[in-house]
Amino acid sequence: MKIEHIGIAVNSLGSSDDLFERLLGKKNYKQESVAREGVTTSFYEVGESKVELLEASNDDSPIAKFLKKKGEGIHHIAFGVDDIYAEIERLKKEGFIFISEEPKDGADNKLVVFLHPKSTNGVLIELCQEKA
């Protein structure tokens, strides 16, 4: 397992991309819309990990709700795994609670699943696996 990326909820990709380009000294390598989740993402490589900026594309999306409740900031930490199905089973046996136990297509060519923050000290954890 490794830290694959840190997701940051932002009000505007335009201004946040400008900020992160200046901060990291480089442009994003990908911007992608995930309509099913109501989000547009922007990815930056940082060493062996990434930063994912998340902007809500509709008022009902999870990111829009997060921004209304907590404002801009860290939304989740994603751990890259080799076998997402094996990790789901292992973590269920350890007593962790999932928002959904069925992986779904996520941004950046990944299968993703989220652990509920109430079982991870209040932090939303994403597991992600590169799709074949």
Tell me the per-residue pLDDT of 6-52, one tens digit each, with 9 for 90 and over: 999 999 999 999 999 999 999 999 999 999 899 999 999 999 999 99
Q: Is the pLDDT of residue 122 over 90?
A: yes
pLDDT attached to residue 40: 97
Q: Going edge to edge, which strands form the sheet with 49-56? A: 30-34, 39-46, 49-56, 2-10, 73-80, 125-130, 110-115, 104-106
pLDDT 10s digits, 68-115: 999 999 999 999 999 999 999 999 999 999 999 999 999 999 999 999
Q: And the tokens for 39?
A: 């989000």
CA–chain centroid gap for 16, Å, is 16
Q: Is the pLDDT of residue 55 over 90?
A: yes
pTM of the shown model:
0.92
Q: Is the pLDDT of residue 132 over 90?
A: no
- Which candidate, 76, 72, 98, places its Cα nearest to that of 85? 98
Q: How many whole angstroms separate alpha carbon 82 and alpha carbon 88?
A: 12
